[in-house]
Every structure is written in structure tokens, then in C-alpha cells.
Amino acid sequence: MTVDLTPLSDSDWNAQRAAHLLARAGFGGTPEEIAKAGRDGRS
């Protein structure tokens, strides 16, 4: 099995991906925090 570990491009980052990342990190986020993370990008 191979896994693609290529970083996401800025254009692929969005609120849905931010929500997934926050959930995987174990603390989730409010809808407002998720929207902000989606807007602010990965920096």
C-alpha cells in the first residue's frame, strides 16, 4: 500500500479540510473556528 503525503496546495485548502484536520487533532472546532481556519489557510 502506498500513501500520498504530498502537501495540499493553497487552492485545495477549505473549511471542510480544516474541519477534518481539527477533528483528527482531537479537539474539533466551532463552526466559526472552522470557517476562520478555512479562510485563513494553513499558515
Cell of 24: 483528527
3-state SS, the chain, equals CCCCCCCCCHHHCCHHHHHHHHHHHCCCCCHHHHHHHHHHCCC
Indicate whether this model's pTM tops 0.95. no
Contact present, 41 and 9 (Cβ < 8 Å): no
Q: What is the pLDDT of residue 30?
A: 95
Measured in whole angstroms, the distance separating CA 1 from the mean position of its chain's CA atoms is 24
Neighbours of 38 (CB within 10 A): 15
pLDDT tens, position by position, 1-43: 899 999 888 899 999 999 999 999 998 999 999 999 999 987 7
Q: What is the pLDDT of residue 10?
A: 87
Q: What is the pLDDT of residue 33?
A: 94
Q: What is the pLDDT of residue 38?
A: 93
